[in-house]
Every structure is written in structure tokens, then in C-alpha cells.
Homo-oligomer: A and B are copies of this chain.
Amino acid sequence: MTAAANQSGRRPTTSRRLERAGIRDVAAAAGVSITTVSDALNGKGRLPDETRSRVREVAERLGYRPSAAARTLRTGRSGLIGLTVTTYGEEPFTFTEFAYFAEMARAATSAALGRGYALVVLPASSRHDVWSNVALDGTVVIDPADQDPLVSELYRSGVPVVSDGKPGNCPVTAWVDNDHEAAVLNILDHLSEAGARRIGLLTGTSTDTYTRLSTDAYLGWCDRVGQEPVYEAYPAHDPAAGAVAADRLLARPDRPDAVYGLFDPNGTDLLAAARRYGLRVPEELLLVCCSESDVYAGTEPPITTLSLKPRRIGTTVVNLLIDAIEGVDSGTGVDIARLFPPRYRTAGTGPPPGTLMPTELIVRASSQRRSPRTTVSPPRPPGEV
């Protein structure tokens, strides 16, 4: 039972193509055990620097690359993070449809790579065949559905899940969202101060968190101020429906003298509709829409936009997720509490913990009747969710 006898029968088959060098090959070439190789390469164990560097050199010479699969199997960590966008239409991804998603995904990818993780793009559909085929350390879910079965299963099976957008009824490890309520109230106040008497809303028919929270904030504001709500809803994922809804809103008998549009294309659509009805902006119609696009800096007139700061969200979501992954080694969740910034955090002990982030209102000519200067709203203090 010598070591030589043990190692002799490694590859009796004819090696016509050259196999990738494994850790055994490195060990043999360096004249040490595989334990020593592993320790030397991973900076563990007790080894003199001389042995360490020698092993490293041999590994380099042999072009040794550790097998990611084997390492994942052994350590239980893959370094992979799932990224999911809820699908609207037939296409599984809405990346480019809304600039918000694209920017958010880009930031998330960067943040993950910066911490040594890679992002895997996965469909929100709960097709097991796809999901169970990839070992995930955690998952980012953008805009989760109200009762997402996929998220529930992931969470139940112990995979950390962090969502962009406050989740409805599915449990998540943590979530991050913009302070949509504060943002809408801020905009309504802003329009009021600019002289608006009746503010209309262009909103969506879907039930996602963003649409719901924003609409509710609008309705609450109207109720508080004593204005009759004036709004039109349309399916946000339909590119053509937005223009129709904008037209409808301005055709109403109780036509508003200011409009906030919840979705990116609303700005141009409203502008076009206003032109059709001969309404001058901002003299006769004040305009604000939510958008990440800078085309609104160049429209005639430039349009005030609300930015959801997708990059900040994406970075935060990923960092939260990786913190959860690396902080929780056993099955039970621990230590997540310290990861959240002191402000903008839900106080209660009840899960899941969430973080609200401030938005940014970029004021342009379309919402000001005086001097159109670009300015930035200060972040609002955190309110209750």
C-alpha cells in the first residue's frame, strides 16, 4: 500500500487529447501531496513561504485551473447570483424596455463582480429545469410578483433572496425600494407650488408595488388636499397604449393643468398630446414624468423627471444579498440586522427587513412657470412605509 502503488493506476486509458491538469498533477509535479497544493494555492494551512511559492509556480507552469464544479460541490458556494426580472409580455426580459431595468442590472452586475460574484440571468417563470440546473448562492429579484411561487420556493430551500421592490406576500431575506410615496408627494407639492390647481396622474393597470404605492400616494394626497382625483390607467407594457391614455387624460372635461406620468414614455406622449390640444407647456400644462432617460433634457421644453436612481438600487441590492450570503453560514438567518443603514429601515422585528432609498427630482422647465433652472430636491427624511 505504498503511495506509488496507489497512484499508479490513475489513467490507464490512452490520453490522446491532453487533459486539463488537475490538482493531483500539480501535486505530483511539485512532489507534495494534494493537501499541500490546496493549502498553498488557497493561502491556508501551515506552510513555509518557500513551499507555497514553489507549488504556485508549478501550478502556473502546468496551467492549472481549479475545477469550479468540484469546488462548488465541496464548499457549497458557487459564486453565482441569480438575476430575475418579472416578465410582462412574451419576451422573458424587459431589460431595454425600461431604462430603469437596464441600468439597475448593469449596476448589479458591476457590484457583484466587484465582490467576486457573477450574475446569471434567469427567467421569472418557475420552470424548475432551468433554475435547479444552476447552483445559486443567492438571487436578486426585480419587481417580484405579489405571491411569487418561485421566490417562495427559493426562500424555503434556504437560498437568500433580495428583491428590488417591496415584495407583496412572498418572504424574502431583504428588500430595497425607492420611497415611492415620498417621491409622489414631493412631486405633487412641487407642482402645487408652481401653481397647479388640478393635478392629473397617468398610471398603470398592473398591480406591481411601484404602480400601487404611487397611485395610493396620489389618491391620499388628493383626499388630504381636497382635490378630485383625475387619472387614467393603461397597461404599462403596451408601447402604444401610453399615447392613447395621455390623449384621453387631456381630453377630459375636467382637464388637469398639471400631470405626473408614472412611466418613462409618458413625457413625450404627454408633450405630443398637449401639442395636439394646443396646450403650451409649462404655461397651460405642467409636466413631470418618471424616467431615467436624458432625452428629456433636450425636449422642447425640457421635462422635469423623477429619477429612481437605478444604479444605487442595483448596487445596494447586490451588496445586501452578498452580505446575507457571506454572513449566514448555517441554515438559520443571522446577522442581517447590522447590514442595514440606520436610516430608511423598517423598525419592527418582523421579517423581512427592508430599506427605502430616496429618489431624485430633476427639475426642468416643464414644471416651472418662473425661472427654469435645474436643481435637485433634497432627500426627504424617512417616513413610515
Q: Which residues of A contact B (CB under 8 A)?
A: 1, 5-6, 8, 10-11, 14-15, 17-18, 20, 63, 65-73, 78-80, 91-93, 95-96, 99, 102-103, 105-106, 109-110, 113, 116, 118-123, 128-130, 132-135, 157-158, 268, 295, 298, 330-335, 337-338, 349, 351
Contact = CB atoms under 8 A, between A and B. Distances in A.
A92 to B, nearest CB: 6
A365 B317 CA distance: 45
Contacts of A338: 1, 5
A332 B10 CA distance: 7
Number of copies: 2
17 contacts: A5-B335, A6-B335, A10-B351, A17-B330, A17-B331, A68-B78, A78-B134, A80-B134, A92-B110, A93-B106, A93-B110, A96-B96, A96-B99, A96-B102, A116-B130, A118-B122, A120-B121
B110 A134 contact: no
**Which residue, A70, A78, A134, has most C-beta atoms of chain B within 10 A?**
A134
Contacts of A11: 331-333
Given A93-B110, A96-B99, A134 B122 contact: no
Given A10-B332, A78-B69, A332-B11, A121 B109 contact: yes
B68 A134 contact: yes
Given A120-B118, A120-B119, A102 B95 contact: yes
Give the 8 A-B residue pairs with the shortest CB-CB distance, closest first: A17-B331, A69-B72, A10-B333, A69-B73, A68-B135, A96-B102, A69-B135, A65-B132
B122 A121 contact: no
A235 B11 CA distance: 38
Given A96-B102, A335-B6, A337-B5, A123 B113 contact: yes
B69 A337 contact: no
A15 B333 CA distance: 11
Nearest to A352: B10
B95 A106 contact: yes
A20 B351 CA distance: 23
Contacts of A15: 332
Contacts of A121: 109, 118-121
Given A5-B337, A96-B99, A68 B132 contact: yes
B80 A337 contact: no
A94 to B, nearest CB: 9
Given A78-B134, A118-B133, A118-B134, 8 more contacts: A5-B337, A6-B334, A15-B332, A17-B330, A72-B73, A96-B106, A116-B129, A268-B298
